[in-house]
Amino acid sequence: MSDPFLGEIKMWAFPWAPSGWAFCDGANLPVNQNQALYSLLGVTFGGTAGQNFNLPDLRGRTPLGTGAGGSVGTYNMGNTGGLEAVALTVATVPPHTHEVVGYSTAATTQSPTGNMLANVNSATSGSTTNFSTFLPGGNWTANAVLNAGTIDSAGGGTPHNNMQPFGVTNFTICQSGSYPPRN
pLDDT tens column, 33-83: 999 999 999 999 999 999 999 999 999 999 988 998 777 789 999 999 888
Per-residue pLDDT at 97 exceeds 90: no
Domains in the chain (CATH in brackets) are 1-62+164-183 (3.90.1340), 85-153 (no CATH)
User: Which residues does 88 contact at the CB level (< 8 Å), separation at least 6?
Assistant: 155, 160
Q: Using CA atoms, how far apart are residues 18 and 8, in angstroms rounded to an integer? A: 13
Instruction: For the chain, give the mean pLDDT.
Output: 82
The pLDDT value given to residue 164: 83
DSSP label of 41? H
**Cα 36 to the chain's mean position, in Å?**
37
pLDDT tens column, 157-167: 777 777 888 89
Per-residue pLDDT at 105 exceeds 90: no
pLDDT tens column, 134-164: 556 666 565 555 555 556 666 677 777 778 8
Query: In this structure, are strands 28-30 and 9-12 parallel, antiparallel, or unpaired?
Result: unpaired
Between 115 and 139, the more confident residue is 115
The pLDDT value given to residue 162: 78
| Confidence band for 176, pLDDT divided at 50, 70 and 90 | very high
